[in-house]
Structures are given as C-alpha cells and as structure tokens.
Structure 1
Amino acid sequence: MVRLALACWVLGFSNPVTAKAPVPKTVPPQPALIVVEDVTGATGTVDRRRLLRIGVKNGKLFPSEMVWEGNLRFFGHFGGHRLVDDRYFVTKFGGVIDLRDKKVIHDEDNGTLCAVDGTKVLFRVTSAQREAGLFSFDLATGKVVKEAGPLDGKFVLKGTVAPDGMAAIESGPGDELFLNQLGAERFSLGKGFRVDLSPFASVSASAPVTWINNGVVITQKGNGKLFTVDISGQATELVTAKDVPKEVVGAPYFFRDGSNRLIYVCGPTAHAIDPDKKTATKYEWRDLGHGFEASWTWVPKLGHKIRLNGKVIGEFNCSPHAAKTAPGCLALEAQPAEEGRGPPDRVAVWTTESDEWTVLKVRPNCVVGWMR
C-alpha cells in the first residue's frame, strides 16, 4: 500500500501541469504630432526653423523632441508639407527628412512637389540655374532619377488639374474657361464664367473651378450661380446658393472638408454642394475630420468654437483649415480667443483620453499632421 502511494506521488510530480501564459494585450500605436516651429535669432526675426515631434501616451503629451533644425529655404513658408509612411517628412519642394533617423535624406529647396507615388517622391524643377524637368527621389534606394523633360508628362498642365492628371482647366483671362490636355491644343469651353466683384476689390478674380470627376468640373456664372461643365464644353445649370453676397472683394473658391464634402465659399458664406442631388446647403460647422468641427463664423474675442461629436470643447482664434486631426486627437495653430486676431503663437492639442486641452508653447510655422 505504501509502495502504491509512493508510485502515485512520483508519477504526479513527473507530469506537472503547465500553466498557460496570459495572452499579451494588443497595445495600439501611440500617435505623435509633427510641427514646424519658427525660431528667432538675436535680432528677433525668424531666421531658421525646427521640425518637432511631440509624442502622446494615454492622452498626455511628452515634451517636444527636435528632429532637425535648418534654414528657412528648406521648409519655405506656410506649410504644404506631408507625412509619408509614418516615417518621412516631405516638403512642398520635394525635400525629405527621415523622422526615425533624424536627418535630411534629400536636400531639395527649389523644386515643386507633384506627387508621392509608392516610394517615389515626384517633383518638378523649372529653375534656369539647373537642369529642368520632372524628377523622382526614391525613399527606398535614395536615388534621384529624371523622369521627364521640362515640357513632358502630366504635371506640366496649366490650371486646375483633373484627378487622373490628364487634363486641366484654366479660368481666364476674362470670363472664359480653357481645357488643357496632354498632346492637344488649348480648347475653349465657353464664356460667361465670372465673379461679381465689389468696386472696392483691389484685384481681378477668375471663376472658381473644381473637378467632380475626370470629365466634369463645377464653376460659376456669377456669385452663387453654380454650373457643371464637361470637357466638350457643355455647360449645365446645377444649383443657386442662397444668401451669397451680390459683390465680393475676394474670389470665391471650393474645397473638400474632413468628410470629403464639396464646399463652396463666397464672401463670408459657405455652402455644402451635393452635385448628385443638385443641392446647396448652408455650411455652419467646418468638418475637420474624426468628429471634430469648427464654427464657420469667427466672432471677435471669442474666435471659432471647436466641438467634438456635437459638444463644444473650446474657443480659439485659429485657422480651421490648418487644423490636423487623428482618431481622438486635434491640433490647432492658435491664439487665446480674447487676444484678438493675429498670427498663432502656440499649438493647442485636444485628446479624448485626457478630455482636456494642452497648450504647447511653440511658435508654429505650420502643424504638419499626426503619425503613428
């Protein structure tokens, strides 16, 4: 009996039960904000710029980390940059900084960024001091290749370029629209496309134009009177936006908001345009993306109201078009609302995890965007 008990005791310990390790929790990548900061020299003027990365964890911001500092020419003025593959900062000139390695990998300050196609950064050079044409910088290999001559390729078309890059519309001179296509003569799409300007307007203005597909644009024949025009020149009345000013000082324009809605701006008014339903709806809150909105109207000493999912979360003097959003995150180039309108002197950041604003004491040249 003792032997049997001893045998069972030995067998029990020779085959121990192995406890399963807990399944590791999937931690979502934390966002980081990329900002270009103006830096002043001894004379008080801006003489260089810094590229900053501000990490966020659990809704809280880390101190700013300098990625790179350089001259004004590399960055230029007022944005136009983009982030690629959550690693590369591409300037509007075609220059590239590797955000991970914190160094310039393509030093270009005289080109015009055309597109980013896969790993290729495409930029056009028109300077008389160097070889002109369309060039590419490959993010993977680091090589620069000339893709086309100065007058070749789809990026040479003048005017508002179609989504596929194969055609462009020029508005003006006068009230005439022109179609430019690769390998074809310039073609008139008709006249009567005009802006009704105030006598106080200091400059002339051409009718605004935007593409709704590769064959049709929207424009106007007088303030608020919107028409579609196809590439054969067929003009069709679309809709008349109500309550727009009869005369304006600045040119009307179109843009796409954070929900990709087409917005028509004429003077202080804005309307959301639905080309399929042929409607123009008064636009009172600018969609910034990811549930964030800014009031269209700016109010002295109040600025723009900012809201998230319909709830007001703050008021700032800011330029809503420069706001950058990500899921649960918003960054604004801002001033306190009570200080009046002026250049931004800080970056205001909201995160849903913290449910509060954090103000970064940096002088923003531009907020570039969010990356993971």
Structure 2
Amino acid sequence: FWVPRLPIDMSNLRRVMLMIWIFQSTSAVVGILQVYFPGHFTPAISTVILDQGKAYVKGLQYQNAYGEVVFRAMGLSDIPGGAGSAGFYAVLFGTAFMLTSRKRMGRMLAVGTMVAGLAAIFLSHVRASLVMLVASAAVLVVVLAIRRARVRAARPAWRRYEAGTLIRLVAVLGVVAFFGFTWAVAVGGGSVIERFSTLAPADAGTVYHQNRGHFIEASIEDLLPEYPLGAGLGRWGMMNHYFGDNSNPNTSMIWAEEQFTAWLVDGGVPLIVVYLYAIWVTGMFAFRLSLARIDPELAILAAVICAYDVGAVLLCLDYPLFGGQSGMEFWMINAVLFAAAASRGQQNSDQTPAR
C-alpha cells in the first residue's frame, strides 16, 4: 500500500534490484569461502539451531573435498544452508543485469556472480533452492520466448535491443550450470553429488512427499478439521519462540514446516484463499508487463520478477517464505515494479498494459 504510491522510476527499480543482487552475491561468495576455509568465515550459529541438540546440529555438517567437516554454507546468515537463498538471488538477479547491462564488464560480472550463486546453492545442500531456481529459469526462458514472438510488431530499436536476448540467456544458463556445479564439487566433494542426487531416483511427487509433502498431508487431516478459521497468532515459528505461551495446552506451539500450514494456523482457509489470490494478481501483473509493448529493459526486469514470483510460490511448499524477510522482499520487489510501471505509464500511457 505504501511503496506503489512512491515516485519510483526505472532507475529506482534497478537500484533496488542492484542492492539485493550485490548483497546476496556477497553472501553467496562468503558461503563458498566458508566451505573452502572452515572456521575462518563461519559466524556464530543461531541459538535456535543450537537448542535443537547436538544430533540436529551434526546433521547440518558434511565433509568437504579436503576431508574437513564443515557446516552447510551459511553466507551472511547464522543458519547452516542460508547461502542457498543467497545463491538463488545471485543467479536470478544476475540474469537481469546480464541481459540489460550495456557494458561488457557489467555483463561479465553478472555471469560471474551467477556461477558463484549456483555453487553456493550446491554447497548449502538446500535442494529447495535449486528446484526453485530451475523453475524460475524455465519460466524466464518461456516468458522471453513469448515476448520475442510478439516483439516483431514493436519499434525497430526495441527489436534490435532484444534480438539476441533469448539465445544469450540460454547459452549463459548452460555455462553457469556447468561451471557452478563443477566448482561446487571441487570444493564440497562427493557430499554435493550425494545430496542432490536424491532428487533423481523417483518422480517429483514421491520425492516431495517423503521430504515435505507429509507435513501438508498431516495439516489437511489433523489441523484443518480442528482449525478451519485458524488457531490464533503466535502459534508457530519465531513469534511463538519469543512470545508464545506454551504452558497453556490451548495455545501451545504448532509446528509449521511449510507456508500452507502457517497460513492455516494463522487465519485458516480464508487466509489461504485471500493470500493466494493476492499472489496471483501480483504475478499476473509482472507477466503481462513483461509481454507488453514497452521499453525492453523494463520488460526484461518484469520477466525476471515474474520468474522470481513463480519460484517464491514453489518455495512455499518447502518453508514459510511469507513469515519472514523473504516475504517482505517479495512484496517490496513487486511493489517497486508496479510503481515503476505506473510511472512509465504516465509518460507513455498508450504503451502501458491495463492494470
């Protein structure tokens, strides 16, 4: 409600995405260094993680390529595996600047951060980040392919600007996949292959059910009949950890491993419906904007944000994304895109898609 009403233009949109990209790329690089040099770049582990017990903490460690035991790459966070999220942003937002930068050095730097981001994902051992990235990359390729088919009717200057966008994107993604994985294995050793090979043996539905699907199944069978309109605020996650009254069995903690359970606990079925509708409207705006006859740079950034939206929704199946800073980032990024499009629409009202 606040950000879309700010006087934001394309330069502001680029600046916001640039700040996120720089921070997350730095976090990804730090995550790689943590596995390269165990103990030198590792921050203090979150007390919430340590309180889970030694066996749990030990499960967040693995042996790197040099035979040393390391934590899953944390990056600039205090949670083992935190570099996985940073790697996702580094790759996806790096794609945006690789496609829009007019300077060769800028494009090379973007590709470099994309390689580092993918390596950080592998070294974090967070499979959900890889699945999210693959899905987002596929959406981005499809959206740009559709736009390429439509841009023939646009201005000649725009056609020249976007002529090699799709080919360059596919080629760079292939290069990033090869070097990112190779680098991760060289640093993380066979543990990386062993961890991510678990995604291959069975179909996606079986793999998901074994790891996260059973939590949703339990929520539908147990929590939904008991709390169709929600169980009340502060019943799960850090809100419960800090402020919950677990001495009362009527307000005790409820475990929420993924977003749908969190929504069900907080507001029941109405909250799930309303929130999904809000996400749908948001994602569709980015999709329509990416295909509109507008400035190619704005369209490409919209396509990247559309791909990001799809990845974020998929990540809801893994953890409560909208219960923390990742959720705030989602709404802020999309709000900035909306404001930038509105600003451009005031300047070129005949070129902006209907709201």
After TM superposition, the score normalised by the length of structure 1 is 0.23
TM-score (norm 2): 0.24
Larger RCO (CA within 8 A; separation ≥ 6): 2
Greater fraction of residues in strand: 1
